[in-house]
Amino acid sequence: MRWQELDQVDCPISRALSLVGDRWTLLIVRDCLLGVKRFEGFQMSLGISRTILRDRLAHLVAAGVLEQRPYQDRPVRFDYVLTGKGRALQGVMLMLADWGRTAVSGQPETQVRTFHTSCGHVLQPYVACADCGEEVLGKDLRTIRQVAS
Amino acid sequence: MRWQELDQVDCPISRALSLVGDRWTLLIVRDCLLGVKRFEGFQMSLGISRTILRDRLAHLVAAGVLEQRPYQDRPVRFDYVLTGKGRALQGVMLMLADWGRTAVSGQPETQVRTFHTSCGHVLQPYVACADCGEEVLGKDLRTIRQVAS
DNA sequence: TAAGTGAGTTTAGTTTATGGACTGACAAAA
DNA sequence: TTTTGTCAGTCCATAAACTAAACTCACTTA
């Protein structure tokens, strides 16, 4: 299967990854969440090649994850900012960062910390269920594919 | 920057993505969470080319996300199963699936559903703070890089 | 003996990514 | 007014990654 066909697959993870599952896209989203807005900002932060950056930004805009906001004319220059759809990736990023902090070994401990300002602690995120409010554990999940009737 | 250098960057998201941020790896993890264990199983489920599958499985084993469990000798054949570190990706996958379900448009609604069996509802996951138990909202986060003293 | 299975490996061709130089429209400094 | 700088690209040649299909090897089952 080609990567581009992934959005056709009936699985929410496949569809998500068809938009943000390639090598640099989630790092661009991370930078956006931290306030980076401009082409040169992403390029310096990531060290990515300019061709790829152009391509990824265009894809994210086309997918509705980022939007372009002109900040000058002559020549037209854009800020790239997250849409609601883009900001909705925050939860994914928090869980991913948590995994990277605890599970990836062999490197000195990261100095990056995220604080939950409303309670004052360093954030330790977990996934909870909107219906019962309990932490979601693997043993309590059952995933099914409903067959069309 | 080369992709391989990403694990050197002092950022938990970079480190996480240096292990699971390429085009097929998270789909392999998804299949593992759903019970797929063998080479042919992944290959058929994903339609991935066999060369890449070999490479990705070897990387995941080397990174300690999967482990090999022999299920026969002559010839030796392995099941690939998630380690604790691999199972710890469940939260990332749940948030990613939720985003894929709600944010990726242009396709018919997915028929895949995950139930939270302990409360009986279709799972709607959110990220909560382990200290205060409240839902984590973007406006309540502050991320800093501590400077070495 | 013949066919099948599971997990790869090999090969050849295609696609993507990389780093560096280059462009174009301006702004600010000398 | 010439020079330097900035920002957001584009172009190009090389390098790396990916794909599909065929092939191998050690068995097992009919």
Convert the pLDDT of each residue in A75-106 to its tens digit.
889 999 999 999 999 999 999 999 999 988 77
Q: Taking a C-beta distance cutoff of 8 angstroms, is the pair B138, A118 a contact?
A: no
Q: Taking a C-beta distance cutoff of 8 angstroms, is the pair A135, B91 a contact?
A: no
Task: List, for chain B, all residue ranges whose pLDDT scores fall below the cut of 70.
Answer: 148-149
pLDDT reported for residue B87? 97
Distance from residue B64's CA to nucleotide C28's C1', rounded to whole Å: 54
pLDDT reported for residue B47? 94
- Chain B residues inside the 8 Å CB shell of A14: 27, 100
CA–chain centroid gap for B81, Å, is 13
Candidate from A27, A94, A113 with C-beta closest to B144: A113
pLDDT reported for residue B73? 84
A54 touches strand D (CB under 7 A): yes
pLDDT reported for residue A148? 63
Candidate from B93, B126, B142 with C-beta closest to A128: B126
Architecture, CATH, for domain B3-106: Orthogonal Bundle (1.10)
Convert the pLDDT of each residue in A30-39 to its tens digit.
999 999 999 9
pLDDT reported for residue B98? 97
B43 touches strand D (CB under 7 A): no
Give B124's contacts (C-beta < 8 A, 6+ positions apart): A129, A130, A131, B98
pLDDT along chain A (149 residues), means of 10: 84 95 95 96 95 96 96 90 97 97 84 95 98 97 82
pLDDT reported for residue B5? 85
Architecture, CATH, for domain A3-140: Orthogonal Bundle (1.10)
pLDDT reported for residue B30? 97
